[in-house]
Amino acid sequence: MHNPEWLLRLRNELSKISGEVAVQIWPSTNGKPYFNYRLEHVRQVERDARWLLNLVGGDEDVVLAAVWLHDRFQPQLESPEDHAGLAAGWAAGYLPEIGFPEEKINQVVYAVEMHSSPVQSLPEDAHEARLLWDADKLTKLGPLSVVNMIAVMPAYPDHSMNSGEIVRMAKQELSRRQTLVDYFYFEQSRERARQRVKVQEDFIRQMSRDVAGV
């Protein structure tokens, strides 16, 4: 596995930044957060990005740096205005300091800046930016998205919760996200998205039956 020193540094920094916020939202008795949504999300983006790199190719350095930088200014659930632009601007100045190949920095900055761009808005020659976009959105589909939804619920203590409400929210989230399926840039991403949606539909359908006692 490709793990240069700069990548380890980016991982450690995001773990620290996201952990400091997570412990305030999801405290536990040992002083550590019991859940760190942002870190789990970025780890999943890396897994999906590596999977996609193996299928469609691309510059691994650019993609992995962009993965660990794209949500640096969104450490947990709240997203500041233009978090993508903030991360891109910060990356442009920081990557040279940690030994990242300078000739690839502009590609990383562009991928980070455009990871929240509208569907099908990236040009064909922006291969790595497209790959990050797909990997980021793939994490929002499948059973793990339901697990994440449930895990973050303590962040909203004023929201009353029961099994029926969890099913309702899961259905709502799936309805919102499944519209992405046809807009992924790579056919491999579209196929994986369809697979995850199918499993997610089955998962939610069974939850509905169990809650209803059918």
Rounded to the nearest integer, the mean pLDDT of the chain is: 94
| Nearest-angstrom CA–CA distance, 194 and 5 | 36
pLDDT class of 80 with cuts at 50, 70, 90: confident
- Residue 180's H or E segment, with its range, is none
**For the ranges 117-121, 132-136, 208-212, which has the lowest average pLDDT?**
208-212
Work out the end-to-end distance of the chain between its first and last CA atoms, rounded to an integer number of angstroms.
46
Percent of the residues in the chain that have a pLDDT greater than 70, as a whole number? 99
| Nearest-angstrom CA–CA distance, 168 and 202 | 14
pLDDT score at 131: 98
pLDDT class of 214 with cuts at 50, 70, 90: confident
Q: Where are the alpha helices (DSSP H) in 26-142?
A: 37-56, 60-69, 83-94, 105-113, 127-138
Burial 124-158 (b: 16+ CB within 10 A, else e): eebbbbbbbbbbbbbbbbbeebbebbeebeebeee
Q: Which amino acid is at 92?
A: A
Q: Which amino acid is at 105?
A: I
Burial 94-110 (b: 16+ CB within 10 A, else e): bbeeeebbeeebebbbb
Residue 108's alpha-carbon distances to 17, 90, 169, 170, 203, in angstroms, are: 20, 11, 35, 33, 36
Determine how many CB atoms are found less than 10 A away from the CB of residue 47: 14
pLDDT score at 78: 84
Is 209 within 8 Å of 75 (Cβ atoms)?
no
| Nearest-angstrom CA–CA distance, 10 and 87 | 12
Tell me the pTM.
0.94
| Nearest-angstrom CA–CA distance, 44 and 40 | 6
Averaged pLDDT for residues 76-97 = 94
Percent of the residues in the chain that have a pLDDT greater than 90, as a whole number? 80
